[in-house]
Copies of this chain bind each other. A is one copy, B any other.
Amino acid sequence: MAKTEIPYKIYLEEKEIPKYWYNVRAFMTPHPPFMNPATLKPCTADDLRPVFCDEVIEQELNFTDPYIEIPEEIRNFYKMYRPSPLVRAYCLERALNTPAEIYYKFEGNNTSGSHKLNSAAAQVYYAKKQGLKSLTTETGAGQWGTALAMAAAYFGLDLTVYMVKVSSEQKPYRKEVMRTYGATVVPSPSNTTNAGRKLLEEYPGSGGSLGCAISEAIEKALTSDSCRYVLGSVLDHVLLHQSIIGIEAKTALDKYGITPDVIIGCAGGGSNLGGLISPFMGDKLQGKNDIRFIAVEPASCPSLTRGKYVYDFCDSAKTTPLAKMYTLGCGFMPSANHAGGLRYHGMSPVVSQLYHEKKMEAVTVEQTKVFEAAVMFAKTEGILPAPESSHAIRVAMDEAIKCKQTGEKKKILFGLTGTGYFDLAAYKQYNDGTISDNIPTDADLQKGFATIPDFPINN
Contact = CB atoms under 8 A, between A and B. Distances in A.
Contact of A382 (B7, B13, B111, B378): B111
A375 B180 contact: yes
Interface in A1-37: 7-9, 11, 13-15
Interface of A: 7-9, 11, 13-15, 79-81, 91, 109-111, 113, 150, 153-154, 172-173, 176-177, 179-182, 375, 378-384, 419, 421-422, 424-425, 427-428, 430-431
B172 A428 contact: yes
Given A111-B378, A180-B375, A421-B421, A8 B80 contact: yes
Contact of A176 (B80, B109, B431): B431
Nearest to A174: B424
Copies of this polypeptide in the complex: 2
A81 B428 contact: no
Contacts of A427: 176-177, 179-180
Contacts of A182: 379
A177 B380 CA distance: 14
B79 A379 contact: no
Contacts of A173: 173, 421, 424-425, 428
A116 B134 CA distance: 40
Nearest to A6: B14
Nearest to A430: B180
Contacts of A419: 111
Given A176-B427, A180-B430, 16 more contacts: A7-B14, A8-B79, A80-B91, A80-B382, A110-B383, A150-B382, A153-B378, A172-B424, A172-B428, A173-B173, A173-B421, A177-B421, A179-B427, A179-B428, A179-B431, A180-B431
A384 B153 contact: no
B177 A384 contact: yes
A181 to B, nearest CB: 6
The residue in A111, A177, A182, A381 that gathers the most chain B C-beta atoms within 10 A of its C-beta is A111
A61 B128 CA distance: 59
Contacts of A375: 180
The residue in A8, A109, A176, A375 that gathers the most chain B C-beta atoms within 10 A of its C-beta is A176
A7 B153 contact: no
B379 A153 contact: yes
Contact of A380 (B154, B382, B424): B154
B428 A379 contact: no
A150 B7 CA distance: 21
A427 B146 CA distance: 15
A176 B173 CA distance: 15
Contacts of A421: 111, 113, 173, 177, 421-422
Enumerate the 10 nearest inter-chain pairs by beta-carbon distance, A residue then B residue, closest first: A173-B424, A7-B14, A153-B379, A8-B79, A80-B382, A176-B424, A111-B384, A421-B421, A176-B428, A179-B431
Contacts of A91: 80, 154
